[in-house]
Structure 1
Amino acid sequence: LIIAMTIMMFLISIFMLFRLHVDKPTHSEEESTNSLLQEYLLGWKFLKDNMMIFIFGVISIIPMVFTMIFNISLPGYVYNVLKLSSVQFGFSDMLYGIGGLCAGLISAILSKKISTKVLIFLLYFILVINSALFIWINSAFYLFIGSFILGYSISSIRIYMNTAIMNTVSDKYVGRSFTIWTSISLLLQSLIAPFLGRWINEINDKFGFYIILILSLLIFVTLLLVNKTDKIKYAHKEE
């Protein structure tokens, strides 16, 4: 059931993302004959020359790392901190997926009423508050609420930040850029995952939520600095 809901959430999010209006510059160029390696290196060159876009893209993939951290942290948090059973664990995991599903359903609606920039900042602020409440409130009730909020926030951030990237990066480089950011995300997850479980066991079962809290605060501040450069284009109505 959880896997099916996750797949459904992903498909609906993609559908909603394509429904959003995106203004991108057009290019008239001959068909590229570069090799895959050359294409990859051209992507790196573009991002190197546009460092604010690179930083924004790296920030956009951090929520994927948050998902991994939550999945690793949740069992110890449920069993050792809250002293609950596998039933509550499964239900909280399901609510995380439902939160992501709701994000896919209402993202396009919210983006028409509230600016994308405001939504991104608001969602990262919610991540900070939600992580703090996970740490301070040892309650099954908040486990369920917090799991839903976390799933909703992470999925929504991905949708809105990807929309901003598609508004900012030209067609020529958008595919290459996403390839690089996805590679970085997979690298981060592969490096963090083997150690996170051990750190949680040795330090604290809430350690994962501390990581999400601190990183969300750092990202919030970094986004403030990035936005001062005016290099990122958000929804078309802001241009």
Structure 2
Amino acid sequence: MVFSVLKPHKFRFYFIADIVSGFGVGMSTIGANWYLMEQTGSIASVGFMLSLNVIAGFLISAFAGPLIDKWNRRTIILWANGIRAITLLLIAGAFLWTGFRIEYLYAFAVINGMGWTVYMSASRSLVQEILPEKDLIHGNSLIEISLQVGMFVAGALSGLLFKYVGFEVILLLNALAFIISSLFLSRIRHTPIPVDNEGEPFFETFKNGIRYLAERPYIFLLGIVSIIPLVSTMVYNVVLPGYVSTAVKGDSVVFGLSDMFYGIGALLSGFIAAPLAKKLSQNGTILLVFLISVLTLAAVAFNTMILILYAGSVLIGLTNSSLRILITTTLMKSVSKTYMGRATSVWMAISLLLQTVSATGLGVVIDRYSPGWGFVCMSGLMLIGLVVYYVLNSREPQQKTLEA
């Protein structure tokens, strides 16, 4: 049972902290997009803010990994939460003092991008520390459930708060969320992994992390496969508005419902992925889910019916999130705890880079052809993931244990 993993106090505290933190980030991110659009009416400004978010996360990833593997992961998260809370309070105060200034939102995007990258690398490394290996898949399933529930609630509440009390209050609530999250994290009692490189120079720690992945091509490529669903999710968000408008002739209601059905599918993955992997095997389930994703995206690409879009959105959300749960669990079992922070930060940097390139390239493709081709590209991307994963596990099965 997936919820059995909540019995130990330390993961229960982590789980609550993760929900609260993710809810705060989701609420402020959605609010910032609405606020900037309302104040400027410029899609380019929103796009630039999102680019700053990605670029900031990409740049900090090179420094985050070595720090996470040299210091206590829980302490790093507490510091990151504290810095983000203070920064948000300062930005909210600046808005209240001077009124709208676009520079404040750009500063928010930079802090948000850096903070999210550090948090993701450190928190997933912390999960690897506090959960026994047999419970990792249930832990990752619960994390996916909390993410989707948090985004549902954050989206609804952010719109109401923005309308009635303003963006400044959303920033204050986000800062409060980080503080509450830190209170729960501070209650986690566990024995951190021994740090054997504490006195090692920073650059040497960074080089050792790169060397670790370079000497383990199976693990490195598996990490690349793990980020394909993340890139696919980003592509879905880029393609969906134009697809709804032109392919199925829908309106904003259809767009909102499509996004909601994606979230429902992602939520279901938290309950389905682990039992399915137990019944079929981990590798078999990953291959099956990849195949379902490829076929679903290809079908949606040439679809003109709203109901099929809804059904497709459920399956896209289900497959993307299931793959994240299953492959992340495999990585946590394969990667040495000493190197998990550095490995995760490398994969996150590659993911952010691919998301930036994909968003730009897809814009050109959609403008020249049609939004349906965006789903064709997504299907091709998932097919690449399927082929790479199949080759990895058919040619080098023994490396899954040798390279840990």
Q: Which amino acid aligns with 2:347?
A: W
Residue 206 of structure 2: aligned partner: 40
1:167–1:81 Cα change, 3 Å: same
Distance 1:79 1:229, change over 3 A: same
Worse-matched range after superposition: 95-104 or 192-201: 192-201
Amino acid at match of 2:400: I
1:232 aligned onto 2:345: no
Q: Contact 2:228/2:382 (CA < 8 Å) preserved in 1? A: no
The aligned runs of 1:68-217 (5 Å cut-off) are 68-217=234-383
Q: How many residues align?
A: 221
RMSD between superposed Cα atoms in Å: 2.6
Give the alignment's TM-score, normalised by structure 2.
0.51
Aligned runs of 1:3-82 on 2, under 5 Å? Answer: 21=134, 30-82=196-248
In the alignment, the residues of structure 1 paired with residue 254 and residue 400 of structure 2 have an alpha-carbon distance, to the nearest angstrom, of 41
> Relative to 1, partners in 2 of residues 1:39 and 1:99: Cα closer, same or farther, differing over 3 Å?
farther
Match of 1:218 among 361, 377, 384: 384
> How far apart, in 2, do the equivalents of 1:58 and 1:206 lie?
26
Residue 178 of structure 1 aligns to a residue whose secondary structure is helix
Shift of 1:22: 6.1
Code of the residue aligned with 2:371 in structure 1: it is D
Give CA-to-partner distance per residue, 1:165-195, whole Å, 9 cap, x none.
Answer: 1111111112211111011101111222233
Gaps of 5+ in 1: 8-13, 234-239
User: 1:62 & 1:192 partners in 2: Cα distance?
Assistant: 11
Which letter maps to 2:239? S
> In 2, Cα distance between the equivalents of 1:20 and 1:104?
18
The share of aligned pairs that are identical, in percent, is: 34
Runs of 4+ in structure 1 over 4 Å off: 16-20
Residues 209 and 28 of structure 1: CA distance in aligned 2, closer, same or farther (over 3 Å)? same
User: In the TM superposition, what is the alpha-carbon distance from 1:110 to its structure 2 partner?
Assistant: 2.8
**Alpha-carbon separation, structure 1, partners of 2:257 and 2:203:** 44
The answer to whether the 8 Å contact 1:60/1:158 transfers is yes
Unaligned runs of 5+ in 2: 1-21, 27-123, 137-192
- 1:168 partner amino acid: S
Decide whether aligned partners of structure 1 residues 168 and 120 sit closer, same or farther in structure 2, where only a CA change above 3 A counts.
same
What are the superposed Cα offsets for residues 45-102 of structure 1, whole Å, 9 maximum, x if unpaired? 1111111211111010011100111011111111011111110110000111111111
Q: Given the superposition, is the C-alpha separation of residues 22 and 51 from structure 1 closer, same or farther in structure 2, using an over 3 Å criterion?
A: farther
Whichever structure has more helix as a proportion of its residues is 2
TM-score (norm 1): 0.83
Distance in 1 between residues matched to 2:197 and 2:208, nearest whole Å: 15
Q: Which has the larger radius of gyration?
A: 2
CA contact (8 A) 1:103 1:155 kept: yes
- Is the partner of 1:132 in helix, strand or coil? helix
